Chains A and B, each alone.
Chain A
Amino acid sequence: MAYDYDSSIRPGKLPHIWCPGCGHGIVMKGLIRAMDTCELDRKNTAIVSGIGCASRLPGYLDACTLHTAHGRAAAFATGVKMAKPEMDVIVCGGDGDGTAIGGNHFIHACRRNINMTYVLMNNFIYGMTGGQFSPCTPTGDKASTTPYGNPDPIFDISKLAIGAGASFVARTTAFHATQIDKLIAEGIKHKGMAVIEILDDCPTTYGRRNKFRSVVEMMERLKDMAVPVAAAAKLPAEKLEGKILTGILHQEDKPEYTAQYAEVIKKAQGA
């Protein structure tokens, strides 16, 4: 059988607005499969985003969705989860939304280890606004605001999330379609802040400026960059140059924020 995506999509919403070959559509399919795997009741699932092409994703999904202000997805999602801890909360957004304007909200949601799943589509650029560099644009690459090449070093989002305290951190790419839903599903099942970074492609504002001749070339690059963590452990350092590790990068058990806060409420009420 062909996969039934239609049941998860709001009627009449397709075709979506994303450009030809934009990986956000591949991620959306993966998220739908992950929600199906976890049998999430869409009436009890809040999908929250900020602003950007990636942040348009929740609008297509037939669930409780919230499209908020640029960079503020994690803050709104925290509000939803605190008010309704029984809901499954998923955040979707881009590298600009999550690590530039929203960097602070992102790291503090990680620090609190609040039980939500953050799907971060890292396409190395601000796609929606025409290709300004983000904190994830590789050094030397071109953006509309770095015509001579980007002098900045990047944020490694997964490392940032681990350092900030997220208890589940995983990474894959838009090429590795089946891994997308597996990792998101693991993140949903995990009790605590789960960050799934998905290296993504923006052919329109990043690919063209950086000499990718086609969407397929961008996909090939994502395929070549990825090394599964288990395989990487057996490789010498020089073989890992320019590569990124994929799979579950970090997982630990530690106190979750809504549970901790419930204790505070109990104490305050003198129970």
Chain B
Amino acid sequence: MSSPKGEVEIIEQYCKGCNICVAFCPTNVLEMDLFVVKAAKPEACIACMQCELRCPDFAIKVHKKEA
């Protein structure tokens, strides 16, 4: 398995559990865990930034890794 292209950081105290990031992640990295999102499959992140762009709550950051 190739290494992930991005590292997902979740700011738990800001997350309101809206599920937007979970629904639109193309590689199913994210999962809802008692109304707070978690990176369940961090190794699958392709650093597409969809989650960070759409999170209304500034609760998710993706740090792109150097190739």
How many angstroms between the C-alpha atoms of A200 and B1 in the bound complex? Answer: 39
On chain B, the residues within 8 Å of A242 by CB distance are: none
Inter-chain CA distance A110–B56, complex, in Å, is: 29
Measured between beta carbons, the chain B residues less than 8 angstroms from A212 are none
B63 A1 Cβ-Cβ under 8 A:
yes
Smallest CB gap from A18: residue in B: B56
Query: In the complex, what distance in Å separates the CA atom of A26 from the CA atom of B19?
Result: 14
Most chain B CB neighbours (cut-off 10 Å) among A2, A9, A29: A2
A2, B23: Cβ atoms under 8 Å? no
Q: Does A16 contact B (CB under 8 A)?
A: yes
Q: Is A11's beta carbon under 8 Å from chain B? A: no
Interface centre among A16, A22, A25 (most CB of B within 10 A): A25
Q: How many residues of chain B get a CB closer than 8 Å to chain A's CBs?
A: 21
- B64 touches which of A1, A22, A178, A203 (Cβ 8 Å): A1
Most buried by A among B20, B53, B55: B20
Q: Do A215 and B20 touch (CB < 8 A)?
A: yes
Q: How far is the CA of A30 from the CA of B54 in the complex (A)?
A: 10
CA distance A5 to B59 in the complex (A): 11
CB neighbours (8 Å) of B18 from chain A are: 20-21, 203, 215
**Per-position 1/0 for A6-39, Cβ under 8 A of B:** 0001000011101111111110010000000000
- Are B17 and A2 in contact, with the CB atoms below 8 A? no
- Are B57 and A2 in contact, with the CB atoms below 8 A? no
Structural contact, A24 and B63, CB atoms closer than 8 A: no
- Choose from A19, A21, A25 the contact partner of B58 (Cβ within 8 Å): A25
B62 interface residue, CB < 8 Å from A?
yes
Query: Which residues on the A side are within 8 Å of B62 (C-beta)?
Result: 2
Instruction: Say what secondary structure dominates the interface of chain A.
Output: loop
CA distance A20 to B32 in the complex (A): 14
One digit per residue, 1 when the CB lies within 8 angstroms of any chain A CB and 0 when it does not, for chain B 32-55 equals: 000000000000000000001111
How far is the CB of A22 from the nearest CB of chain B, in Å?
6
Distance between A258 CB and nearest chain B CB, rounded to angstroms: 34
Task: Tell me if A214 and B57 are in contact (CB < 8 A).
Answer: no
Q: Which of A15, A177, A178, A203 contacts B57 (CB 8 A)?
A: A15
Q: Which residue of B lies closest to A23 (CB)?
A: B56
- Chain B residues whose C-beta falls within 8 Å of the C-beta of A9 in the assembled complex: 58
A240 within 8 A of B: no
B53, A29: Cβ atoms closer than 8 Å: yes
In the assembled complex, the CB of A54 is this many whole angstroms from the nearest CB of chain B, namely 12
Q: List 20 A-B contacts (CB under 8 A).
A: A1-B64, A2-B62, A3-B61, A9-B58, A14-B57, A14-B58, A15-B14, A15-B57, A19-B16, A20-B16, A20-B18, A24-B56, A25-B57, A25-B58, A26-B53, A26-B55, A29-B53, A177-B53, A203-B18, A219-B24
Excluding A14-B14, A20-B17, A22-B56, 15 further A-B contacts by CB distance (< 8 Å) are: A1-B63, A3-B52, A15-B13, A16-B57, A18-B56, A19-B16, A21-B16, A21-B56, A25-B56, A25-B58, A177-B53, A203-B18, A214-B19, A216-B20, A219-B54
